[in-house]
């Protein structure tokens, strides 16, 4: 479900979806419009053909009665029938003649000069139309011949029919000027129509503008991502404003730069405050601690109350000193969360060196410590933060392990991460508290586990915060054979 919501909110998915919509929708619209246009054109062509047929049927009775005395009656009738813009030609071939070139142009509307008439007859002969008519008039083919879609110069031939009489063979030919018909009727593809080309150009321009808005925004976000990664790596000469290419995002880039600068100042101030506060508090504590020694020598051993008071003061000074150190570490951990360190750390060397020191400390409490650190593993972060992680984990493990127990610390590569694990064989942690132990001021130590020493419950909290500051994570689980196992996964160095 989470993955589905992620993809639904993905900018790249939305960009691809918009591109698909802009591609698929016009194709579907074109197919639909083309179908409608084809039906309309078919009806218009049918209408033009029917008009030609009516002209032919109107002229055939007059041609049946043709004689030299009434020859002048044909031309006025042809002109009247052609008043709607139609082109009409009446051809005649005497009964004794044969062949395609024996046809004569008897009447024409609109009128044509002799040169145009001869050119029109030549085109009809070259196209093979008159050859078909010759065969029809001689009875070797059907008497009605229609050639749909033929094109004569700038006219569309819509009707062509021979009619045999005792005098010879008459032919009525009708055509429509191509300017009065849609381009598709005369055989041009629908996509070549001017209206569609204008609409497609506008649509394409709109699609380019919309997609350019998406791609510009996406590209700018990618540049912001690159700047953010550079900031995380600690590069100083990077700026969101310099990486911005969209004027409308200039204020956003400026605010991001301001936020980064504020965070860097805050990180510096936190570290400075941690140092100054620790120094300011430790100095008087050191004075008090040093003053207790001469006071202890001056107090008589039999003065029980004075000796007890000096012991309490000494214990309180130690507690305050530990508290100051803990507070300093806490402040530095918070500062590290703001400005994550990205140095290359020789994790294997650091943990081996630290582990050897803790082997002696564990041995003083009759506890064994086994090291299983893989060689040559490097992580991204800082030596100090990794040491703090290991010190807290080993310190906790020693405190909770009984005499004769064993602790195991190992480091290995897993899934592109360096996995550090510290396992003890102490009492473990209730399942419901496995997450709570990483909270602040959470401590489960008894007196036997160092309860007489002040603990502030910040060890595992610092472990997790340092791990997150280094780009990793930390978690705990009860070991199968008893005890607690804390794991820390840190990103390997590039």
Dump the DSSP string for 339-362.
Answer: S---EEEEHHHHHHHHHHHHHHHH
> b vs e for 185-200, b when ≥16 Cβ sit within 10 Å of the residue's Cβ?
bbeeebeebeebeeee
Question: What is the model's pTM?
Answer: 0.46
Between 132 and 40, the more confident residue is: 40
CA distance 462 to 455: 13
Q: Quick one: which of 104, 132, 129 has its CA closest to 118?
A: 104
Residues 6+ apart with CB under 8 A from 489: 414, 417, 418, 419, 420, 467, 472, 473, 474
Q: Which long-range contacts (CB under 8 A, 24 or more apart) does 125-128 make?
A: 125/100, 125/101, 127/152
**Sign of the dihedral defined by the CA atoms of residues 108, 109, 114, 118, in that order:** negative
The 3-state DSSP class for residue 494 equals coil
Whether the Cβ atoms of residue 82 and residue 97 lie closer than 8 Å to each other: no
Q: What digits encode the pLDDT tens for the residues 54-98?
A: 888 888 888 888 887 777 888 888 888 888 778 888 888 888 887
Q: What are phi and psi of 340, to 5 degrees?
A: -70, 130
pLDDT at 151: 42
Of the listed ranges 171-180, 244-253, 364-373, the least confidently predicted one is: 171-180
Contact (Cβ atoms closer than 8 angstroms) between residue 168 and residue 68: no
pLDDT tens for 357-374 read: 888 888 888 899 988 888
- Produce one character per residue of 258-295: b if its CB has 16 or more CB atoms within 10 Å, e if not: eebeeeeeebeebbeebeeebeebbeebeebbeeeeee
Q: Where are the domains of the chain?
A: 25-192, 233-339, 341-494
Residue 341 has pLDDT above 70, yes or no: no
128-142, 161-175, 230-244, 440-454: range with lowest mean pLDDT: 440-454
**What per-residue confidence (pLDDT) applies to 411?**
92
Whether 158 has a pLDDT exceeding 60, the answer reads yes
CA 491 and chain centroid, separation: 26
Average pLDDT over residues 470-484: 87
Task: Inform me whether the pLDDT recorded for 473 exceeds 70.
Answer: yes
**457 pLDDT above the threshold of 50:** yes
User: Between residues 251 and 19, which one has the greater pLDDT?
Assistant: 251
Paired strand residues for 172? 90, 161
Q: Cβ–Cβ contacts within 10 Å for residue 482, how many?
A: 13
Q: What CA–CA distance (Å, rounded) separates 93 from 165?
A: 10
- How does DSSP classify residue 148? T
Q: How far apart are CA 88 and CA 75, in angstroms?
A: 10
Beta strands in 12-103 (DSSP E): 87-94
**Model confidence band, residue 488 (pLDDT cutoffs 50, 70, 90):** very high
- In the chain, the percentage of residues whose pLDDT exceeds 70 is 79
Provide the token pair at 319.
Answer: 């507690």
CA distance 271 to 262: 14
Residue length of the chain? 494
Q: Tell me which of 111 and 274 has the higher pLDDT.
A: 111
Q: Give 38 or 389, the one with higher predicted confidence.
A: 389
pLDDT at 152 over 60: no
Count CB atoms within 10 A of the CB of residue 104: 13
Question: Residue 45's pLDDT band (boundaries 50, 70, 90)?
Answer: confident
Do the beta carbons of residue 472 and residue 491 sit within 8 Å?
A: yes
- CA–CA separation, 444 and 429 (whole Å): 9
Rounded Cα distance, 436 and 417, in Å: 25
Q: 272 by DSSP, 3-state: which?
A: helix
| pLDDT tens digits, one per residue of 181-218 | 554 455 566 667 777 788 888 888 888 888 888 788 88
Is residue 130 predicted with pLDDT exceeding 50?
yes
In the predicted model, is pLDDT for residue 8 greater than 60? no
Query: What average pLDDT does the chain have?
Result: 78
Q: What Cα–Cα distance (Å) separates residue 66 from each residue in 54, 59, 111, 130, 421?
A: 19, 11, 20, 22, 116
Q: What is the pLDDT of residue 2?
A: 42
Residues 399-435 pLDDT 10s: 888 888 899 999 999 888 999 999 988 888 888 888 8
For 165, half-sphere exposure in the C-beta direction (CA atoms, 13 angstrom radius) is 17
Give pLDDT, residue 14.
76
Whole-number pLDDT of residue 273: 67
456 has a pLDDT exceeding 70: no
> What is the arithmetic mean of pLDDT over 286-307?
78
Q: What is the pLDDT of residue 1?
A: 47
The CATH classification number of 341-494 equals 3.30.565.10
């Amino acid at each position: 479900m989470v993955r589905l919501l992620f993809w639904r909110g993905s900018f790249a998915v939305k960009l691809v979806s918009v591109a698909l919509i802009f591609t698929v929708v016009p194709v579907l619209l074109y197919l639909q419009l083309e179908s409608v246009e084809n039906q309309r054109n078919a009806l218009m062509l049918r209408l033009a053909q029917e008009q030609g047929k009516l002209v032919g049927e109107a002229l055939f009775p007059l041609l049946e009665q043709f004689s030299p005395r009434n020859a002048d009656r044909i031309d006025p009738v042809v002109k009247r029938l052609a008043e709607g813009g139609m082109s009409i030609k009446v051809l005649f071939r005497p009964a004794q003649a044969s062949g395609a070139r024996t046809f004569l142009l008897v009447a024409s509307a609109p009128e044509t000069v002799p040169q145009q008439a001869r050119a029109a007859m030549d085109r009809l002969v070259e196209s093979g139309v008159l050859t078909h008519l010759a065969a029809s008039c001689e009875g070797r083919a059907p008497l009605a011949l229609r050639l749909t879609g033929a094109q004569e110069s700038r006219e569309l031939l819509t009707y062509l029919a021979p009619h045999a009489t005792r005098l010879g063979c008459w032919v009525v030919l009708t055509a429509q000027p191509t300017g009065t018909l849609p381009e598709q009727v005369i055989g041009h593809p629908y996509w070549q129509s001017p209206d569609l080309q204008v609409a497609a150009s506008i649509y394409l321009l709109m699609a380019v503008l919309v997609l350019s808005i998406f791609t510009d925004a996406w590209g700018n976000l990618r540049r912001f991502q690159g700047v953010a990664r550079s900031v995380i790596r600690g590069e100083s000469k990077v700026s969101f404003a310099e990486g911005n290419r969209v004027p409308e995002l200039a204020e956003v880039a400026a605010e991001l730069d301001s936020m980064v600068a504020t965070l860097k100042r805050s990180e510096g101030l936190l570290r400075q405050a941690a140092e100054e506060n620790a120094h300011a508090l430790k100095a008087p504590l050191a004075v008090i601690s040093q003053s207790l020694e001469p006071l202890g020598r001056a107090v008589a051993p039999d003065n029980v109350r004075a000796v007890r008071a000096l012991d309490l003061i000494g214990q309180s000074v130690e507690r305050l000193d530990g508290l100051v150190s803990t507070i300093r570490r806490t402040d530095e951990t918070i500062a590290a969360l703001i400005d994550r360190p990205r140095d290359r750390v020789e994790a294997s060397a650091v943990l081996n060196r630290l582990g050897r020191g803790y082997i002696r400390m564990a041995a003083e409490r009759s506890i064994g410590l086994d090291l299983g650190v893989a060689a040559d593993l490097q992580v991204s972060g800082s030596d100090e933060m990794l040491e703090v992680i290991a010190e807290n984990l080993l310190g906790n493990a020693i405190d909770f392990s009984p005499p004769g127990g064993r602790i195991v610390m190992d480091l290995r590569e897993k899934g592109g991460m360096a996995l550090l694990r510290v396992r003890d064989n102490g009492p473990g942690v209730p399942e419901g508290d496995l997450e709570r132990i990483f909270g602040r001021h959470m401590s489960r130590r008894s007196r036997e586990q160092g309860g007489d020493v002040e603990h502030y419950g910040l060890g595992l909290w610092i472990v997790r915060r340092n791990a997150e500051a280094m780009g990793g994570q930390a978690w705990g689980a009860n070991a199968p054979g008893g005890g607690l196992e804390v794991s820390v996964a840190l990103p390997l160095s590039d």
